[in-house]
Chain A
Amino acid sequence: MAHIVRPYGDTLDDGKVQLSFTLPVPHGLKAQEAARIMVLGWGFSDCEIVHSARISDNFTFFVAYAKTERGVDYDAVEADRNEEEKSMSMDEVNEFIRARIGRKVVVVGACTGFDAHTVGIDAIMNMKGYNHHYGLERYSMMEAHNLGAQVPNERLLEYAVKVNADAILVSQVVTQKDTHIHNLTNLIELLEAEGLRSKFICIVGGPRISNKLAVQLGYDAGFGRGTYADDVATFIVKKLAERMER
Chain B
Amino acid sequence: MKEKLGLSKEKIAEARERAIAICAPVLDFIHEHTSVTVERATLRLLGADGADADGVPVPNLVVDSLRQNLSEGAALRYANALVVKGMTPQELNSAITAGLDISKIPLGDKTAARAKAGQLAQAYLDRIRNNRGHREKKLAEFAGKNNSPLLYLIVATGNIFEDVKQAQAAVLNGADVIAVIRTTAQSLLDYVPYGATTEGFGGTYATQENFRIMRQALDEVGEREKRYIYLTNYASGLCMPEIAAMGALERLDMMLNDSMYGILFRDINMYRTFVDQKFSRMINAYAGIIINTGEDNYLTTSDAYEKAYTVLASQFLNERFAYAAGLQAWQMGLGHAFEMDPSIPNGFLYEFAQAQMAREIFPEHPLKYMPPTKHMSGDIFKGIVMDNMFNFVSKATGQGIHLLGMLTEAIHTPFMMDRYLAVDTARYVMNNMASFGDDIEFKKDGIMVRHAHEVLDKTLEFLREVEKTGLMDAIEQGLFAEVKRPKDGGKGLEGLLAKSPEYFNPVESLLEEELGIL
Chain A residues in the interface with B (C-beta under 8 A): 20-22, 53, 55-57, 59, 61, 114-116, 118-119, 122, 148-150, 174, 176-177, 179, 207, 225
Contact = CB atoms under 8 A, between A and B. Distances in A.
Interface string B81-118: 00000000000000000000000000000000000000
Contacts, number: 57
B266 A116 contact: yes
B301 A56 contact: no
Instruction: Give the top 4 A-B pairs by smallest Cβ distance, nearest first.
Output: A56-B169, A114-B185, A56-B172, A22-B417
Determine which residue in A21, A59, A122, A179 has the highest number of CB atoms from chain B within 10 A of its CB, and name it. Answer: A59
A114 B201 contact: yes
A53 B201 contact: no
A138 B307 CA distance: 23
Given A56-B173, A61-B417, A114-B184, A177 B201 contact: yes
Contacts of B267: 148-150
A20 B202 contact: no
Contact of A119 (B172, B188, B301, B416): B301
Contacts of B184: 114-116, 174, 176, 179
Contacts of A21: 417
Interface in B285-333: 300-301
9 contacts: A55-B169, A114-B184, A114-B185, A114-B188, A116-B266, A148-B267, A176-B158, A207-B410, A225-B378
A59 B169 contact: yes
B420 A61 contact: yes
B154 to A, nearest CB: 13
B77 to A, nearest CB: 34
A22 B416 contact: yes
A63 to B, nearest CB: 10
A22 B201 contact: no
Contacts of A149: 267
B415 interface: yes
A174 B168 contact: no
Nearest to A122: B301
Contacts of B172: 55-57
Given A21-B417, A119-B374, A176-B412, 18 more contacts: A20-B417, A22-B415, A53-B420, A55-B173, A55-B416, A56-B172, A59-B169, A59-B416, A61-B420, A114-B184, A114-B185, A115-B184, A116-B265, A174-B202, A176-B158, A176-B201, A176-B202, A179-B201
A118 B416 contact: no
B153 to A, nearest CB: 12
A21 B408 CA distance: 13
Contacts of B3: none
What's the interface size class on B, roughly?
A: 20 to 34
B265 A55 contact: no
Nearest to B421: A61
Interface of B: 158, 168-169, 172-173, 184-185, 188, 201-202, 265-267, 300-301, 374, 378, 410, 412-413, 415-417, 420-421, 424
B377 to A, nearest CB: 8
Contacts of A225: 378
A177 B413 CA distance: 11
Contacts of A114: 184-185, 188, 201
A171 B265 CA distance: 17
Contacts of B265: 116
Contacts of B412: 176
A56 B201 contact: no
A149 B266 CA distance: 9
A129 B437 CA distance: 39
A122 B483 CA distance: 11
Contacts of B169: 55-56, 59
A20 B267 CA distance: 40
Contacts of B158: 176-177
A115 B202 CA distance: 10
Given A22-B415, A115-B184, A174-B184, A56 B168 contact: yes
B300 to A, nearest CB: 6
A56 B184 CA distance: 28
A56 to B, nearest CB: 4
A116 B237 CA distance: 13
Contacts of A115: 184
A59 B301 CA distance: 37
Contacts of A59: 169, 416
Contacts of B378: 225
A59 B172 CA distance: 11
A149 B168 CA distance: 35
B300 A150 contact: no
B419 to A, nearest CB: 8
A112 to B, nearest CB: 13
A119 B420 CA distance: 29
Contacts of A57: 172
Contacts of B173: 55-56
A55 B417 contact: yes
B80 to A, nearest CB: 39
Nearest to B156: A176
B188 A150 contact: yes
A109 B421 CA distance: 38
Contacts of A119: 300-301, 374
A20 B384 CA distance: 15
